[in-house]
Amino acid sequence: MSKNLKLKSSRAAKDMSQKDLADATGVTRQTINAIEKGDYNPSIKLCVSICKVLGKTLDQLFWEEDEDE
C-alpha cells in the first residue's frame, strides 16, 4: 500500500498535527501515522470520521488513481 500523501497534506493545510487529528477522531496518534505511511488500511467508519474533521470527501482523501488510466 502506498503512502497517503493526500491525507498528510490536507492535515498540514489545516495546521493540525497527527496528535490533533487522532484526538479529533478518537484514535491513537500511531494509527494516524500508520494510515499516512500506508501501513494500515482504515475502516470506512474511520475514513468518514477523518474526512469530516478535515472537511474533505472520501474521494479527495482516499481514492487512488490507477497509473494506467
Please count the CA atoms within 13 angstroms of the CA of 8 that sit on its side-chain side. 10
Beta strands in the chain (DSSP E): none
Instruction: Single out the residue of 1, 3, 9, 19 in contact with another protein (rule: CB under 8 A).
Output: 19
Q: How far is the CB of 13 from another protein (least distance, A)?
A: 14
Site for another protein in 24-43 (CB under 8 A): 26-31, 33-34, 37, 40, 42-43
12/57 with CB nearer another protein: 12
45-50: list long-range contacts, CB under 8 Å, 24+ apart: 49/25, 50/7, 50/21, 50/25
Is residue 51 a contact point for another protein (CB under 8 A)?
Answer: no
